Amino acid sequence: MSDVKIKSVLSSFSHMAKRLEPLPSDKPAPDDNYVRLNANENPFPLPKVVMQRALAAMERQYLYPEHDNVSLREAAADAYGLAKDQVIAGNGSSELLGLIYKAFLNPGDSVAMLSPGFSFNRKLAMLHGARFVEIECNKANFLPIDELLFGPAEKAKFILLANPNNPTGTFVPVAEIERLAAQSGHLIVLDEAYVDFAPDNGLRLIDNYPNVLLLRTFSKSYAAAGIRVGFGFGHPEVIGRLRNIQNVFNMNVIGHAVGISILAHRAAYQENHKHIKHERERVAFALAQLGFSVKPSHANFLLARVPAGQDGRWWQEALERRKILVAFFPEKGLENYIRVSVGTKRQMDAFLNAVSGILDRSSIQNQQLEKN
């Protein structure tokens, strides 16, 4: 394309899109030799019965998937004790997050989120021209209700609460969220992506608080991140409008089949969840022994403050050289942390071995420096 033409095309981007850089495409995807502990995936295979449903669904590849995800929404409604019109199904819960921004925000509006929080929300707010109000709160068991209701968050069109929170792993008692929902006239988006690893959940709020919209995903606790199944539960008027602005055929036939089958076989995941909670505690203890400071977590990941001397980015890169991927967040307050997803025992042993190796190596280097 000529320079003149591409300039003309680029100048037609919306104000929002103009503010974004094109994504670089130079980084190769990590191969299967990497231990992926950076995206809070659940590394176990699907239960056999669910996998059989996925394979059978492949044979319906020539058909469009069911309109409006009716059977999947019905199955979720049955499983969670709701009515079908209280349920929306998404291509992952991130699709539903995007719909919420689209449905509720005009440029110049604001949204509020506890910080640190799920950073995808910052991008969504930016894309919709919204002001993103971050309320700092790092405390477990605590919700800064006044700060979420008054001050800079007062006019927020909705408040985002992830419970358990990502990346901290902290969990706020549902009674606190209920207090907020009772006092607030705004929509509360309660993102329960990690709730199956936590002691409680907010499902019971749905029928009593029309301003609560709850999000769930099968990416974390049901080992289906690559299949993309998420749900929103809320008041039929809110859910119905969100469904109305959703893309046609937003999910595929495999997502439908897997979603319905997981809903019917949730008990098959008991061992999976038990394993992850057990590994979470084992790795937290081991990391503490190695000089990290680890927050108690109610999710399938740990946020660990790295030992003094190096920052989180340094640790992320040092681990990546050993083929272990963990998450690092450059934002203020998280510079000295890494977030490590909890996987299989084998993956976690590989991670702990790599950490020990890095610590040994840097202590040898320090000793050599002292000698010289």
Ligand X SMILES: Cc1ncc(COP(=O)(O)O)c(C=O)c1O
DSSP letter for each residue of 27-40: SPPP-TTSEEESS-
Q: Which is nearer to ligand X, 86 or 219 (CB)?
A: 219
Residue number with CB closer to ligand X (91 or 352): 91
Parallel, antiparallel or unpaired: strands 301-305 and 337-341: antiparallel
In the complex, least distance from residue 96 CB atom to ligand X, rounded to whole angstroms: 8
Query: Does residue 246 interact with ligand X by CB under 6 A?
Result: no
Query: Which residues between 138 and 167 bind ligand X (CB under 6 A)?
Result: 162, 166
End-to-end C-alpha distance for the chain, whole angstroms: 59
Question: Does 251 interact with ligand X (rule: CB under 6 A)?
Answer: no
Interaction of residue 328 with ligand X, rule CB under 6 A: no
Q: Which stretch binds ligand X (CB under 6 A): 88-96, 178-186, 334-342, 361-369?
A: 88-96
Among 38, 40, 42, 168, which residue interacts with ligand X (rule: CB under 6 A)? 40
**Smallest distance from ligand X to CB 5, Å:** 36
Q: By C-beta, is 230 or 343 nearer to ligand X?
A: 230
Least distance between ligand X and beta carbon 122 (Å): 13
93 binds ligand X (CB under 6 A): yes
Cα gap 72→62, rounded to integer Å: 19
Computed from CA positions of residues 287, 226, 202, 264, in that sequence, does the dihedral angle turn out positive or negative? negative
Contact positions with ligand X (CB under 6 A) in 352-371: none
Q: Which of 97, 96, 68 is nearest to 84 (CA)?
A: 68
The answer to whether residue 217 forms part of the interface with ligand X (CB under 6 A) is yes
Interacting residues of 358 by C-beta distance below 8 A, sequence separation 6+: 315, 318, 319, 322
Minimum CB separation of residue 369 from ligand X in Å reads: 40
From 71-79, 86-94, 181-189, 306-314, give the range in contact with ligand X by CB under 6 A: 86-94
Q: Say which residue the tokens 């057990």 belong to.
A: 278
Q: Is there binding between residue 92 and ligand X (CB under 6 A)?
A: yes
User: Is residue 300 part of the contact set for ligand X (CB under 6 A)?
Assistant: no
Per-residue mark of binding to ligand X, 99-138 (x: CB under 6 A)? -------------------x--------------------
Q: Which residues are within 8 A (CB) of 268 and not within 5 positions of it... i.e. 6 or more apart? A: 47, 49, 50
Tokens of 202: 């907010």
**Whole-angstrom distance, CA of residue 123 vs CA of residue 105:** 14
In the chain, where does DSSP find H-type helix? 3-11, 15-19, 48-58, 70-80, 93-104, 120-127, 145-149, 174-183, 236-244, 253-264, 270-289, 312-321, 345-371
| Positions that interact with ligand X (CB under 6 A) | 40, 92-94, 118, 162, 166, 191, 193, 217, 219, 225, 230
